[in-house]
Amino acid sequence: MATWNSRGLRGSTLEELVNRTNEQYREKGLALIQKIPTPITPVRMDKENRHITLAYFEQRSTVDYIGAVQGIPVCFDAKECCTDTFPLANIHSHQVEFMESFEKQGGVAFFLIFFSHENLFYYLPLRDLMVFWQRMEDGGRKSFRREELSPEYYLEKRGGFLVPYLEGLQKDLDHRD
């Protein structure tokens, strides 16, 4: 069974940036996106500081965020990477299955990847991830390199948004037509 400890805080900076962006989008009436908490059961507590120091996950999480953008259902997961190679082990098969089902229901699923060493945000459409995923399942590389990614999905900071993923979403939608 999976347990949580201080390693669970990896990506918390990215999460804060995405949460703040979601607040900005909500305030401007552009999107309503909610963080989906992963249910945990505490095992050990630091009673003095009232912090959970050890817990186990009650169930597998599906995605980090879910909501609607101008009437379009969206779900996405945010991942952080400190090199130019992203290990597919950071994505779980149950997440991919959920996202595929979500898209079959008319929604849009994607990953936000933060290449922290370059301070770059990338919008990865599910269909693009599936190319790498299938390669892995066919016995190929278990990762993808930044140079394999489409340059058009890098997110440029503008408009005061910390992680302007709606621009990536618009490009994704344009490619679906």
95 labelled ligand-binding:
yes
174 labelled ligand-binding:
no
**Residue 37 DSSP label:** P
105 labelled ligand-binding:
no
Task: Look at the pTM and tell me if it is higher than 0.85.
Answer: no
Identity of the highest mean pLDDT range in 5-9, 17-21, 49-53: 17-21
Residue 104 CA to residue 107 CA, distance in Å, equals: 7
The tens digit of pLDDT for each residue in 21-67 reads: 999 999 999 999 999 877 666 667 777 877 777 766 555 668 999 99
The residue type found at 151 is P
Q: Widest CA span of the chain, in angstroms?
A: 56
Residue 9 has pLDDT above 70, yes or no: no
Residue 100 has pLDDT above 80, yes or no: yes
77 labelled ligand-binding:
yes
**Domains, the chain, with CATH or none:** 27-36+62-176 (3.40.1350.10)
Residue 85 CA to residue 158 CA, distance in Å, equals: 26
Structure confidence at residue 60 (pLDDT): 65
Residue 58 CA to residue 46 CA, distance in Å, equals: 20
